[in-house]
Structure 1
Amino acid sequence: MDLTDFDIIDAHIHQWEPRATPREFSKLAKLMRYLPVPVDIAAKLAPRSDREFVGAPDAYLQPYLPADYRDDLGSTRVKSVVDVEVQWAGWKPDETRWVASLPFGVDTPALAGIVSAADPAASDFGAVLDAHQSASPLFHGIRTTVAYHPDRGVKSFATHDGTLTAPAFLDGIGQLADRGLSLDAWVYSGQLPEVTALAERFPEVPIVLDHLGTPAGIFGPVGKDTGHTARQREVLLHRWRDDLTDLAAQPNVVAKVSGLMMPVLGHPVPPRGTVTPVPTLLGRVGPLLAHALDVFGVDRLIWGSNFPVDKPITSLSGAVETVATGLSDAGASTDDLRKVFGGNAVRFYRIEPTY
């Protein structure tokens, strides 16, 4: 599908330098500086849940910076990007300051917005928000680590479920509305009712559901007992559909059609140096895209590549083609796609027109 005349905004990318920044995922990369071993051997040192989540470790062990993203674009014309936090340890606003300092907008797409890390349940939440705002005028919202899966074999990023509706978390959320900030909610699909309850309680807070709720195992086996049988995958799909429908009834929520090629969904990882063909991806993600379009409508969907996290499964151009074709097959027009691939991100993230 030809999107060359679109002003595409990639509303979900990640930037990191694993050997030089305080990131939770970077321990193995730092170890390899002192103990250089082949990547595939080093990966075996990581827990199985980590290996299944990343698919292939290459992108996590190397820097991923504006020039790397530019190289991944190929012929895809992305005008600007929104960077999303990647679990820095320590003082979270340091990541905002670091991202804002990267060489975007030279021979690379412009940086249009930053979604930073902050925990609404923390006692210093307000101070952290103020520091993010001081660090960069491109700071528009937060994402906090809440993704939890009951299958202990699936990589969780929180120690338990219920984080989004815990009293301390709820006490902090109101401060987002006071500052005109948004919340990116990345959860596994079993947590979708929590996002719905949060949206109902705080209708004044703009919420974006990252990656359509990440139904882990929906395309194949992950963890100890997730997606291992056709019946499990069918039940998972039906619950995801119902819970997404309930969430879409909340008008303050938008959804990112992003992260649909994350290995944790159960995609088989193709051999290194190859990608999954777009028709194959469409056969898997097409029904998810169609349902998202049906319940959220074209004005509440935002595209993001989730690169480099999705890179083991697809190319960036393949990700664009898959989502654009899947939405078109579900009835989206060219003007609709302009909204999904740019206009809706401008509105939701309050991106300045210069971008």
Structure 2
Amino acid sequence: MAQANAHYAPVREDWLARHAEPALDPELPIIDPHHHLWDRPGWRYLLPELLADTEQGHRILATVFIQCRAMHRAEGPEAMRPIGETEFANGVAAMCASGLYGPIRACAGIVSHADLMLGAAVREVLEAHIRAGNGRFRGIRHIAAWDAEPAVMNPAYSPPQGMLDLPEFRAGFAQLAPLGLSFEAWLYHPQIPELTALARAFPETPIVLNHLGGPLGIGTYAGQREAIFPHWQAAMTELAGCPNVSVKLGGLGMRINGFGFDTAAEPPGSKALAAAWKPYMHTAIEAFGAGRCMFESNFPVDKGSYSYGVFWNACKRLAEGASAEERQALFSGTAARFYRLELPAA
């Protein structure tokens, strides 16, 4: 299905269907800690679409819904409108908890948006999210992704440069830990040091870095992968020194990363994905340890570049040298711990 927002690679089901693989190690329990649900013009990805992807041979026990501007309230104070996203995701979670849709517990954890630039006043919004989540609400994502390169900027978000350092943002951020909430960090690789400073200033707040820190590869960053990698690696290694920070291994199917999977004549297989991603994935695992790393699908955003089943096969190939304990952490344990998920026995 094509979609209107050109910032994302269009999802072409017929193209994806050209390459299929049987699931490797199909009994390995997986928690997908990063996916979205939405109903946008030309692009619907709701529970039926999610189930069609998660039923591709891998053992997906549960998922975590991540903020994506879905189902905000149409009325009421602007600051409170994102509560609608938590209400929506909790409804999907309740549907899956009924067992009518199989063993998967979709949206077992929920991360939505609250404007942390409101400062201390954001506490009222956070408390409303907690009530709406019915025990499933876990944290906030306030997107900080900013760069001077226009090609990488998502038109849906316009955070100020250096937002993580602003006093009003930090006053809002300070409200998370007292309420037992975590912070979902989405930014680009030149901004990783800003997150390190934030993590050091708030060591009691659990933080998870999305999409391997957003290594950029288009616009002025195109063709610079070998030069950029050491800077990304050094920033990630320094960030790993903050014990309150975990990292999600995925999100590299977006156009901004410059891998170009979506422009190939044929969809990539898991071997090709694993080979392209190995330097990033293995660097992160070595720096943070498996106990602070979790594989993530970032679907349906990354679906423009590869299918769900192929993605998880690539992750399993990347984890081939890991111990049984490390594999358990990478595919489910870290996510279950970070998002405090209580699931039926695997």
State whether TM-score is above 0.5: yes
Give the one of 84, 87, 90 matched to 2:66: 84
For structure 1, the residue ranges without an aligned partner over 5 or more in a row are 19-28, 30-60
Equivalent position SS for 1:255? strand
The amino acid across from 1:12 in the alignment is H
CA RMSD of aligned residues (A): 1.9
Q: Aligned runs of 1:178-257 on 2, under 5 Å? A: 178-217=178-217, 222-223=218-219, 225-227=220-222, 229=223, 232-257=224-249
Q: Aligned runs of 1:41-120 on 2, under 5 Å? A: 61-73=42-54, 74-88=56-70, 90=78, 91-102=81-92, 103-105=95-97, 106-108=100-102, 109-110=104-105, 111-120=107-116
The match for 2:5 is none
The match for 2:15 is none
The match for 1:23 is none
How far the C-alpha of 1:85 sits from its partner, in A, is 0.8
How far the C-alpha of 1:100 sits from its partner, in A, is 1.1
The match for 2:117 is 121
Equivalent position SS for 1:153? helix
How far the C-alpha of 1:275 sits from its partner, in A, is 2.0
The match for 1:6 is 28
Work out the CA distance in 2 between the residues paired with 1:99 and 1:178: 23
Distance 1:271 1:71, change over 3 A: farther
The amino acid across from 1:115 in the alignment is V
How far the C-alpha of 1:118 sits from its partner, in A, is 1.1
How far the C-alpha of 1:6 sits from its partner, in A, is 2.3
The match for 1:333 is 323
Contact 2:176 2:205 in 1 (8 A): yes
The match for 2:38 is 16
How far the C-alpha of 1:268 sits from its partner, in A, is 1.6
Equivalent position SS for 1:122? helix
Give the one of 139, 142, 152 matched to 1:141: 139
The match for 1:350 is 340
The amino acid across from 1:130 in the alignment is E
TM-score (norm. length: structure 2): 0.83
Work out the CA distance in 2 between the residues paired with 1:291 and 1:122: 36
Q: State which drifts further: 67-76 or 101-110.
A: 101-110
The amino acid across from 1:311 in the alignment is K
Work out the CA distance in 2 between the residues paired with 1:313 and 1:354: 32
Work out the CA distance in 2 between the residues paired with 1:301 and 1:260: 15
Contact 1:209 1:253 in 2 (8 A): yes
Work out the CA distance in 1 between the residues paired with 2:268 and 2:257: 14
Deviations 1:78-110 (A, max 9, x none): 011000010255511111001111233431521
Question: Would you say how many aligned residue pairs link Structure 1 and Structure 2?
Answer: 304
The amino acid across from 1:191 in the alignment is Q
Q: State which drifts further: 245-254 or 336-345.
A: 336-345
Contact 1:247 1:253 in 2 (8 A): yes
For structure 2, the residue ranges without an aligned partner over 5 or more in a row are 1-22, 73-77
Deviations 1:42-101 (A, max 9, x none): xxxxxxxxxxxxxxxxxxx32111110111121122011000010255511111001111
How far the C-alpha of 1:173 sits from its partner, in A, is 1.4
Deviations 1:96-142 (A, max 9, x none): 00111123343152131001111221153111101100101100111
Contact 1:293 1:327 in 2 (8 A): no
The amino acid across from 1:114 in the alignment is I
Contact 1:263 1:312 in 2 (8 A): no
The match for 2:9 is none
The amino acid across from 2:59 in the alignment is R
TM-score (norm. length: structure 1): 0.81
Work out the CA distance in 2 between the residues paired with 1:159 and 1:345: 27
Work out the CA distance in 1 between the residues paired with 2:263 and 2:283: 30
